[in-house]
């Protein structure tokens, strides 16, 4: 059970990492046409 929790926590941290990367990328593309692709 602990291993499942640890794996789940790692996945959440990885998702947060990806999300912060996407936010950084999104700041580079402030044009409206690119904005739709980067929003989820």
- Residue 36's H or E segment, with its range, is helix 32-38
Output the pLDDT for position 13.
92
Higher confidence at residue 26 or residue 13? 13
Higher confidence at residue 10 or residue 2? 10
Which pTM was predicted?
Answer: 0.47
**Residues 1-24, mean pLDDT to the nearest whole number:** 87
Q: How many residues does the chain have?
A: 40
The span from the CA of 36 to the CA of 7, in Å, is 31
Find tokens 């690119």 and name the residue.
Answer: 34
Q: Report residue 17: phi and psi, to 5°.
A: -60, -45
């Amino acid at each position: 059970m602990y291993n499942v929790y640890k794996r789940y926590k790692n996945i959440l941290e990885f998702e947060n990492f990806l999300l912060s990367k996407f936010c950084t990328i999104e700041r580079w593309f402030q044009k409206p046409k690119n904005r739709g692709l980067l929003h989820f």
